[in-house]
């Protein structure tokens, strides 16, 4: 029996990876789209050659993906971002499906920053949105990555607002630093488990 596919998303600094780790503590496997995207950009020859054809060899100096160079390009130019998204996201979606089929839990999570924006949420059985106020998110990322406010805001502006995404989410987790996470995760975990039981 195939596990249910559950998307978990949230804007930069919302804490979606932190929340995904709580689900993992409940025994639920999680696929992290950001890190797998970066892996595929190095390992998948088709993805790599499409990116080189567009950006040139300087994207991989000494064979290593130049992340900061690419980040500067894609968060400044919508055209460049759409190109990268168009190459990387189908490869990630395929890789996720292959991975999900290998799991034996009642459901699996797919953690991705822009699940609604890409339309990837449509292939999920349900989607969880993690939210936090923008000022909290900016502060978190500045502290975590040692970057300035401007670079966090550039990424934030390339993503949909929480208000927009809330309309498409089946479950919402508030991670503002004051609300406790474990009870929120537990309630959703139980709701998804009962959905998985009904499906099987």
Ligand X SMILES: CC(C)(COP(=O)(O)OP(=O)(O)OC[C@H]1O[C@@H](n2cnc3c(N)ncnc32)[C@H](O)[C@@H]1O)[C@@H](O)C(=O)NCCC(=O)NCCS
| End-to-end CA separation in angstroms for the chain | 7
Sign of CA dihedral 138, 146, 86, 6: negative
Which residues is 131 bridged to in the sheet? 174
Considering only residues 37, 141, 185, 192, which one is a binding residue for ligand ATP as defined by CB under 6 A? 141
Asked if residue 159 binds ligand X (CB under 6 A), the reply is yes
Look up residue 142 and give its two tokens.
């500045």
Binding residues: 13-18
Question: Who's near 44: CB < 8 A, 6+ residues apart?
Answer: 91
Please select the residue that binds ligand ATP; options are 3, 4, 5, 14, rule is CB under 6 A: 14
- 15's contact among ligand ATP, ligand X, none, with CB below 5 to 8 A by partner kind, is ligand ATP
Within positions 4 to 63, which residues make up the interface with ligand X, using CB under 6 A? 12, 33-34, 37-38, 41
In angstroms, rounded to a whole number, what is the distance separating the alpha carbons of residues 165 and 82?
A: 19
Binding residues for ATP: 13-18
Residues 80-119 that bind ligand X (CB under 6 A): 81, 84-85, 88-89, 92, 112-114
Size of the site for ligand ATP (CB under 6 A): 15
């Amino acid at each position: 029996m195939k596990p249910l596919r559950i998307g978990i998303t949230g804007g930069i600094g919302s804490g979606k990876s932190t929340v995904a780790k709580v689900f993992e503590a409940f025994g639920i496997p999680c696929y992290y789209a950001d890190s797998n995207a970066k892996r595929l950009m190095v390992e998948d020859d088709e993805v790599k050659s499409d990116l080189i054809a567009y950006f040139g060899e300087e994207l991989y100096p000494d064979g290593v993906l130049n992340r900061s160079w690419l980040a500067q390009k894609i968060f400044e130019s919508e055209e460049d971002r759409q190109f990268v998204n168009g190459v990387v996201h189908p490869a990630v979606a395929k890789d996720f499906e292959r991975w999900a089929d290998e799991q034996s839990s009642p459901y699996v999570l797919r953690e991705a920053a822009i699940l609604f924006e890409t339309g990837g949420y449509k292939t999920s059985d349900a989607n969880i949105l993690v939210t936090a106020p923008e000022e909290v998110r900016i502060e978190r990322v500045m502290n975590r990555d040692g970057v300035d406010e401007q670079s966090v805001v550039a990424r934030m502006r390339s993503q949909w607002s929480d208000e927009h995404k809330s309309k498409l989410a089946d479950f919402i987790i508030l991670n503002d630093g004051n609300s406790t996470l474990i009870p929120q995760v537990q309630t959703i975990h139980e709701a998804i488990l009962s959905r998985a039981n009904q499906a099987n």
